[in-house]
Structure 1
């Protein structure tokens, strides 16, 4: 059974997964468009981080950043490579959306890459009802990024 739980960002499995997430960002995204957060930044009090497990096997992760009382941001969605194709990212995204609704957010936004490597992520977000939006927060608009939002 798949379990999603709040994660303190301390275990070796999650630290390795986040290192893999950063390595993917470095390999696929020019530095000026790289917005993946390292472990220390993910520990910010405005961010809630979850990991997904099946027994003792780490499957993936995701996070929700509070931008303000009505607006959240999806961060750090990543599925362990050998577990991709099982619908786990959809499950984590559903968990994040449900939490955003519980918190009373009116909008849930995200930034991701515009490159082919990010096409599955963009397709996932669009299938969940996210639509295009302008840059938000400290992000800058440009051809290397895609900005999406979901009205809750």
Structure 2
């Protein structure tokens, strides 16, 4: 798998992110859905990667710098047809390595609390993330699970 920094301009990546936002809206109340749109993902404090198996888009993920020692994982998504192949694990390992290279002490994330999000929560738990309270600009929300780990 090839993981590359992406400029968020390719049709495949745009389509994957649009599907991601639509699925999040279908499985979370709108005021509890925190997926970023293309404009927000292009902010300079966010690095966005796409993952490719040959010429096929397999997934994506992003890392936002919250402050010089704390990052947040954003927009983790595996493309349809690539689930169960370790795409999420490879992207997560890549993001963890980048967080370490940047000198972050902590990496956090927000995901949904419903059964739909259980596979994501299990993935993060396998990599040492533990549930925590809201961080950054988040507020307590029964539809959100907040997780963190030391880098």
TM band (smaller chain): over 0.9
Aligned residues: 151
RMSD (Å), alpha carbons: 0.6
Aligned to 1:46: 45
CA distance in 1, matches of 2:98, 2:31: 30
What is the CA-CA distance between 1:55 and the residue it aligns to?
1.6
Aligned to 2:134: 135
Aligned to 2:79: 80
Residue 100 of structure 1 aligns to a residue whose secondary structure is: helix
Aligned to 1:110: 109
Aligned to 1:122: 121
What is the CA-CA distance between 1:20 and the residue it aligns to?
0.5
Q: Give ranges in structure 2 of 5+ residues lacking alignment.
A: none
What is the CA-CA distance between 1:56 and the residue it aligns to?
1.0
The alignment's TM-score, normalised by the length of structure 2, stands at 0.99
The alignment's TM-score, normalised by the length of structure 1, stands at 0.98
CA distance in 2, matches of 1:123, 1:81: 19
Aligned to 1:99: 98
Residue 82 of structure 1 aligns to a residue whose secondary structure is: coil
What is the CA-CA distance between 1:26 and the residue it aligns to?
1.0
Aligned to 1:4: 3
Large movers: runs of 4+ above 2 Å: none
What is the CA-CA distance between 1:141 and the residue it aligns to?
0.9
